[in-house]
Amino acid sequence: MTRPRIVALDDWERSFRRLGDWRAIDAAADVTIHHAPLRGDALLDALRDADAIVLMRDRTPFGTELLAQLPKLRFLAYTGTRNNALDQQALQARGIPVHHTEWGPSKSATCELTWALILGAVKQVAVSSARLRAGGWRSEVAEPLAPVLHGQRLGLIGLGEIGGRVAAVGRAFGMDVVTWSPHMTEQRALQHGASSLPLEELLATSAVVSLHLVPTAETRHLINAERLATMRSDSVLVNTSRASLVDTDALVAALKQGRPGAAALDVFDAEPLATDHPLRDAPNLLLTPHLGFVVEPVFQRFADGVTAGLAAWLAQG
């Protein structure tokens, strides 16, 4: 009898094997785990003979066209509880069962990274570290020093589970927390110790603007060239939510023009970020490679959930 073939994609962190117990699965199936992104023919070649596929979140879009080219597919698993790049209806139409894992403390992790980016950008950590490593100490030219966040305004675009956590830290720093979202109310803002403001006022008056919205057609490129131009010249824009909320080309141009004064990004339109992408050369920009949810306890849940799902599928024969 031919052994089932299992293919896992986009394990960039090389975590599946390190954190999961694959012994029962390896005894019953042939497993291939890909660590580099695959697209086009390379993706199809990797998946064509797979009986089961494991997706790391939504790193690889999995739509109707791809599914149609995988006649052997009998089971699909993905990490996390939501995958907006997966065609669930097409899988259901084929009768292919879909399994997903639990999340773990991803919202706390994203809040922590948000503040790491805020503080890193405001306190000029990357520039100072690079100067020190290069043998320097202070800048050789007169330039503005890092500000203090106490008493400054923190503008949160979105105040859900992550935004609410970010607001609590802002209050602990003694910041004036304000918020906007398409359906924000003053009562909801007050529950998090914030004030509800029009978007234009929030952008124009906040020292730090942090994005925490779920993207929709309504919020795509919400932060565009016109809105970026209204931001303070000493402000910082932070995005640990979704890249589609910001017009990336407009942000590159805006940073060159000095409004906002700086930005920090953890999410990008296409990931991994291309080596020649203009963001890599933009001024006053702190970048991290989508690390918001990439923490040990979250990936432990991913690995445990994937192996449990595969083991249960294999046991069904």
- Report the pLDDT value the prediction gives residue 271, as an integer from 0 to 100: 96
Rg of the chain over Cα atoms, rounded to whole angstroms, equals 22
The pLDDT confidence band at residue 298, using thresholds 50, 70 and 90, is very high
Q: How confident is the model over 223-278, as pLDDT tens digits?
A: 999 999 999 999 999 999 999 999 999 999 999 999 999 999 999 999 999 999 99
Cα dist. 251→122, 226, 259, 272 in Å?
A: 18, 10, 9, 19
Whether pLDDT at 1 is above 80: no
pLDDT in tens, 196-232: 999 999 999 999 999 999 999 999 999 999 999 999 9
Q: In this structure, are residues 43 and 304 in contact, taking their beta carbons and an 8 Å threshold? A: no
Are β-strands 176-180 and 153-157 bridged in parallel, bridged antiparallel, or unpaired?
Answer: parallel
What is the overall mean pLDDT for the chain? 97
Catalytic annotation, residues: 242, 271, 290
CB atoms within 10 A of CB 308: 16
Sign for the pseudo-dihedral over CA of 172, 177, 181, 184: positive
The 3-state secondary structure of 83-118, one letter per residue: CCCECHHHHHHCCCCEEECCCCCHHHHHHHHHHHHH
Closest CA to 21 of 311, 315, 313, 317: 311
Q: Above 90 in pLDDT, residue 317?
A: no
Terminal Cα distance for the chain, rounded: 12
Span 70-117, pLDDT tens digits: 999 999 999 999 999 999 999 999 999 999 999 999 999 999 999 999
CA 154 to chain centre: 21
- Are 158 and 213 in contact by the 8 Å Cβ rule? The answer is yes
* Structural domains of the chain sorted by starting position, each given as residue range(s) with its CATH number in brackets: 5-104+296-315 (3.40.50.720), 106-287 (3.40.50.720)
CB 179 within 8 A of CB 192: yes
Find residue 30's DSSP bridge partners: 5
% pLDDT > 90, the chain = 99
